[in-house]
Structure 1
Amino acid sequence: MSGASEKPGVLNGFEETVKDFWASRPRRPHAGRKLAGVAAAIGYRYGVDPVVVRIALVVTTIFGGFGVPFYLLGWLFFPGESDEVSGFEGLIGRGRSSVSPAFAVVLLVLTVVSTGGSITGSWFDGGGLISCALIAAALYLLHRSRGHLNRPAPVAVRTSHPAFTGNGAFTMTDTAEAPTPARGWDPLAADPAGWDLPDATPAPEPPPAAPPRPRHHGSQRGPRSKVGSATFALAVVTAGGAVLAGLNGATWFDAQHIIGLVLGVVGIGLVAGAFAGGGRGLIGLAVPLAIVGMVLTTAPFKNFEVRGGVGDIRETPQTSTELKPLYQHAAGDIRLDLTELPEGAPYSTNVSNGAGDTTVTVPANADVTFDCRTGAGEASCFGRSTDGISQPALTGTDNGPDGVGGQKITLHVSNSVGNVEVRRG
C-alpha cells in the first residue's frame, strides 16, 4: 500500500502532490514555444492557454520580480519533449538532455543571480517572496486539480550495446540494438536440425498513443465565461473606491497604489479564468496597467507638484532682498549662487525642481543647515551622497573648514527627477 488515493486524479496531501508533480513534470514542447517553451509546457500540461501563463509571468516579473527566476528554473528542470531528463539532471549525469552541460551551468548562474535580485531589488519589501509564493501556490493548485490530465508519455532510455563493425571488431554505441543470434546457429556445433526451438513469440502490441495536447483556437472556444465581466466590474469598483479615498485625504491612495490594486484584481481574475476557462479579455487590461504602473513606480512623480516654467534658472542674489524664499521650477536646471550675499542676518531659502539638475553654491566658511533630497537621481551635499530611487534625504549642519562662527544659512533643496548638489564656493 503506497497511500495513494483510490480515486483517479485525486492526490492525498501536500507531499504526494509534490512528488507526483516532479514525476510528471511538464515537458517543454518543440512547437508553440516562444523562447524555451516553459509557458507552453505548463499550459499544455494543465489545459491552460499558454498566453495566460506568459501574462502571469510578466506580471510577477514587474510586481515582485520572480517571473524571470521561475522561467529559468523551468528551463533548467523541465525536460524537453524528446529528452530523457532535464538540463540540470543531464548536468549531473542522470541521462540525455538537449540542454548542454555548459549551457545548464549558465542557466544555473543566471537563476541564482536573478533570484537574489528579485528578493533584494523589488519595488516593495518582500515583493519577490510574495510573487514566489503566488507562483508556487498556483502550480500546486493546478497540479492537484489537473495533474491527472495530459500526463507526459515516458521517453525511452537509450542503452549501449556492442555493435559489429564488419571488420571483426565490436564497438559500444547507444544506437545499435543488441545482437540477436540467428535461429539456426548452434553454440555447441550440433546439427541445427536436432534442436527443437519454440516458435517466435509474437511482438507485443504498441502502447496507445498519448492524448493530443489541448490547443486553443479562436473558432473552437467554449461558452463565454463570466469571469472576465465580473473581474472588470470589480476592478472598476476598486479603482473608484480608491480614488474617492484619495480625494478624501487618504494619502496612501496615490496613482501607483491605485494601479497596483486594480492590477491585483485583474491578476486574480486571470488566475480564476485559467481554472474556469475564460477571462482572456483581461489580458488587454493587464498589459497597459502593468506598463503604466512600472513607469510611475520607476520615475516617482509622487512629489512632482505643479511648479513654474520650463528652462534653466541661474540666480546670484547679492542682497537679502534679492534672495527669494522659494525657487521653484517645473523642468530645467537650477543654478543658485549664494557666495555674493553679505554677512549679517541668517538667510533661508527653498529650492524645488521638477525634472532637472539643481546646484547650490554657498560661501566657503558659512554654517549651513541643509535638507537635500531627490526622487530619482544622485544627491550630494558636503561630501555626503545618495544615489537611486526614493532614497532618504540628506540632512544635517556643516560649519565649513573654520568651524562654528560663519554666516548662518538654511537650505531646503528637493528634486523629483534629477541630481542635487550643494557645495562650497
Structure 2
Amino acid sequence: MSGASETRAPKQSPLNGFEETVKDFWASRPRRPHAGRKLAGVAAAIGYRYGIDPVVVRIALVVTTIFGGFGVPFYLLGWLFLPGESDEVSGFEGLIGRGRSSVSPAFAVVLLVLTVISVGGSFTGSWFDGGGLISFALIAAALYLLHRSRGHENRPAPVTARTSYQDFTGNFTGNGAFTMTDTAEAPSTARGWDPLAADPAGWDLPDAPPVQEPRPTPPPPPSYRAPRRRSKVGSAMFAIAVVTAGAGVLANLNGAGWFSAQHIIGLVLGVVGIGLVTGAFAGGGRGLIGLAVPLSIAGMVLTTAPFQDLDFRGGVGDLRPTLHTVADVKPLYQHAAGDIDLDLSKLPPGAPYSTTVSNGAGNTTITVPETADVTFDCRTGAGDTSCFTQSANGVSQEALTGTDTGTDGVGGQKITLHVSNRVGNVEVQRG
C-alpha cells in the first residue's frame, strides 16, 4: 500500500426534500456541451444530463414559447446560468467575478437584458390568461421531477480553476524563482576538500513532483440513435389527442363559443406535451413530435392572424340562397369556408328586416335594391371591404358602418345588414 487515499465518487443517497433537491440541482447543473448543440446547447445539456432525447426538450421549449411564452426566457436563463462544458462557472457567475466562463461579461449583460424583457413579455399577454405562469410552472415541475428521479445519473465532473504555477513541495514560487535551502551542517574537513566548497549532502534539491495519474475521461453522452423498445405511450396519447380534437369540434358545432380553433389546437397540444413528457420517462412517444410541430405552427398562425373567432359552423362550399319573399330571408347566414352570394335586389318591398352574414374564409357579396334604405356594418379580418361608397383593405381593419338611402333618398325599404368575414373580401352593392 502506498498510503495514498483513493478518491471515489460518494454513493448517491435519495433526495429527501424540496430544498435538498434544489440545492443538489444547482450543485450538479447540466453543462452545455460543445457537440450536439444547435444554439447555446441548453436543450442538449438537459437531455444529456437526464438521459432523454434533446429533441424532446426542444419541442417542449417551442410549445411553451407558442402557448404561454416562457420557452424563450427559460432558454436565456439556461444560457446565463448553465456553465459550458469546459467552463469553471456560468456566464452570470463570470460576470460577477466568480471564475472563468466562455460567455464574455458584455454578452452576459446582453443575455440578462434579453431575459428580463422576455420574462416581462411572457407574463403580459398570452393566448389565454395566465399562460406564461402556467408554462413556467410546467417547466419547473418537469425539471424538479427529472432531477428527483435521475439526478444521480450523468453527474458532470467539476472543472477546477487553472493556475499560473505549480508548487512543488514549496520550492517553486509564484515568480518562477527556484530556491535552495541549505539545512545540512557545514562540511567537515574530514570529508576532504570540495572544489565547490560545499558538501554535496548539504544541497537541498527538490523532490521530483509526484506522478499524477491521468483523470479518467468521462463517458460520452449516451447515444439516442439506439433502437428503443416499443411503447404504448405514443399510441395512447395520440388516441387521446384525436378524441380531444373531436370533442372540441363537436362542442363548437353545438354552440360552445369557447371551443374555437385556437383553443382546440391548444388542448390537443397540451395532450401531446403530456405524452412527450411521459414518453421521456417511460420511453416511447417520439412519434408525437410529428404531430406537435404542425400543430404548433397552426396555433401560432391562428393566434397571431386576425381571425380569432374562427369556428366550424355553417359548412363548407359556396352558398347562393334563392329568395322570393321577405319571409324567406333568414336572420343568420353562417358559413365556415366558401363564397356567399346573397341577392336581395329582387325581393318585393315589405316590412323592415335584418340579417347577419358570417363567413369564415371566402368572399361575401350582398346585393340590395336600388331604392332601399340600408343600415350596415361590414368588416373582414384580412381582405378588401367595400360597402356602397366606403371601402377599406388590409388586416385587422375597423368595421365600416353607416346608412345608405339609395338613389331616391329616404323613404325606401328598411334593411339592416351585419356582415363579418374572417378572411376574404366583403362587398355590399346595389342591383
Letter in 2 for 1:377: S
Partner of 1:53: 57
Residues 304 and 233 of structure 1: CA distance in aligned 2, closer, same or farther (over 3 Å):
closer
CA contact (8 A) 2:233 2:275 kept: yes
Q: Which protein shows a greater Rg?
A: 2
| Kept after mapping to 2: 8 A contact 1:337/1:361 | no
Cα 1:161/1:205, change in 2 over 3 Å: closer
Say if 2:26 is the partner of 1:22: yes
Q: State the one-letter code of the partner of 1:256.
A: Q
Aligned equivalents of 1:134, 1:146: Cα separation in 2: 18
Question: What corresponds to 2:200 in structure 1?
Answer: 193
Q: Report what 2:269 is aligned to.
A: 263
CA shift for structure 1 position 350: 5.1
TM-score, L = length of structure 1: 0.70
The residue aligned with 1:75 is: 79
User: How far apart in 2 are the matches of 1:49 and 1:177?
Assistant: 49
**Could you tell me whether the CA contact under 8 Å between 1:256 and 1:296 is conserved in 2?**
yes
Q: Distance in 2 between matches of 1:332 and 1:249?
A: 24
| Structure 1 residues not aligned, in runs of 5+ | 1-5, 163-175, 364-373, 383-396, 399-406, 421-425
Partner of 1:378: 397
Amino acid at match of 2:272: V
Q: Is the 8 A contact 2:382 2:422 kept in 1?
A: yes
Q: Which residue number corresponds to residue 38 of structure 1? A: 42
Amino acid at match of 2:385: T
The farther-off stretch of 143-152 and 291-300 is 291-300
TM-superposition CA deviations, 1:403-422 (whole Å, max 9, x none):
xxxx99977453424899xx
Which residue of 195, 210, 213 maps to 1:206? 213
* 1:146 lines up with 2:153 in the alignment: no
Q: 1:177 to 1:103 in 2, by over 3 A?
A: farther
| Contact 2:237–2:271 under 8 Å retained in 1 | yes
CA-CA distance at 1:9 after TM superposition: 4.2
CA distance in 1, matches of 2:12, 2:118: 39
Matches within 5 A, 1:73-112: 73-112=77-116
1:379 partner SS: coil
d(CA) in 1 for partners of 2:200 and 2:425?
99
Deviation at 1:21, TM superposition (A): 1.1
Q: Which residue pairs with 1:128 in the alignment?
A: 132
Cα 1:375–1:9 change in 2 (3 A) is farther
Kept after mapping to 1: 8 A contact 2:183/2:202: no
Q: Matches of 1:303 and 1:221 in 2, distance apart?
A: 42
- Aligned-pair Cα RMSD in Å: 4.6
Q: Which moved more, 1:246-255 or 1:37-46?
A: 246-255
Distance in 2 between residues matched to 1:326 and 1:236, nearest whole Å? 33
**Structure 1 residues 352 and 377: alpha-carbon distance in aligned structure 2, compared to 1, 3 A threshold:** closer
The answer to whether the 8 A contact 2:358-2:420 is kept is no
Is the partner of 2:276 in helix, strand or coil?
helix
Q: 1:94 to 1:239 in 2, by over 3 A?
A: same
Which residue is equivalent to 2:420? 414
Aligned positions, number? 367
What is the alpha-carbon distance in structure 1 between the residues aligned to residue 251 and residue 50 of structure 2?
A: 40
Shift of residue 132, structure 1, vs aligned partner? 0.8
Once the two structures are superposed, residues 261-287 of structure 1 have per-residue CA deviations (whole angstroms, 9 ceiling, x without a partner) of 222111101001111232212111211
Q: SS of 2:119's equivalent?
A: helix
